[in-house]
Structure formats: structure tokens, C-alpha cells
Amino acid sequence: MRLGEELSNFGLIDDEFYSRGHVSAGYGRIGKHRKHPGGRGMAGGQHHHRTNLDKYHPGYFGKVGMRYFHKTQNQFWRPVINLDKLWSLVPSETRDAYISNKKPDTAPVLDLLPLGYSKVLGKGRLPEIPMVVRARYFSKEAERKIKEAGGVVELVA
């Protein structure tokens, strides 16, 4: 048994043991690891910290595009929903009745504006059950798929 192994059993040789004699742990005797040698926060982002910002945060500084003065947000309100989510908006009892063909002569009417949607997009598939969908906007793909399933597309103001 060697001396190092013997001492390590008693916990005498550990990280602290090996760092003895290295007084300031790499931070120097004069500054003593205090204050803010590189500046606080994002100081020097365009100067001495530029390489880090260019490499890890490209596009942090500068502007892109044009400004839009007096932008009225209401004109751009257009929450979207995909086709595959439409049937989830129909109440479950009604949905089950249409899927099991208990109501073959009628079609569910889905008005999306009161439900908080204004545009229907064409992602997903619809079951082959006719359905009347009312919304302000439809993508071409959504309109095509609804009509292929035997449904009707109604544009609402």
C-alpha cells in the first residue's frame, strides 16, 4: 500500500490538497477577482465583446425592414385553424350523431367567427361527411378539401 492511497482513505488527499500553494486561483494578487473587468451586462457588445455577439447572437444589433406608422392591429386580426381541427369544434354528441349516420339528411353548420377563428387553412384531412363552414377567409386548399368532402364554404363579413 502506498502513502497516497493510505491518506486518501482518511480524506486527506482531495481537491483542496492539490490546490494548496496556488494562492489566488488564477485571478491574480492585485485585482483579487473583484469588480467588473469586462464591463457590466452587455457593455462592449459592439466593441470588445463583438466576436461573441457576432458568433452566438447574429442579428442582435441593427434594424431590419420598414416601420409601420399608425398600424391598426384590428385590420390584421386573422387567427387561423386547420382542417384537421374543425370537427373538434363540433360538440361531441352532435359529432357522434353525424359520424354514425344518424342524421344523413342534415349537415352541421360551423360558424368560426364566434369561436375566435377567421381563416381556415388546408392542413389535414376531413371525414367524408358534408359540413357547412362559415369564415372570413379560406385558403385554396381548404376550400378544395371541404368541397371534396361534400361540404359548403360560406364567406362571412
Pairwise CA distance, residues 119 & 117, whole Å: 6
Over the stretch 65-81, which tens digit does the pLDDT of each residue have? 999 999 999 999 999 99
Is this structure's pTM higher than 0.75?
A: no
The DSSP output letter for 61 is S
CATH class of this structure's domain 74-155: alpha beta
Q: Are 105 and 82 contacting, i.e. CB atoms less than 8 angstroms apart? A: no
Over the stretch 90-140, which tens digit does the pLDDT of each residue have? 999 988 888 888 777 889 999 999 999 999 999 999 999 999 999 999 999
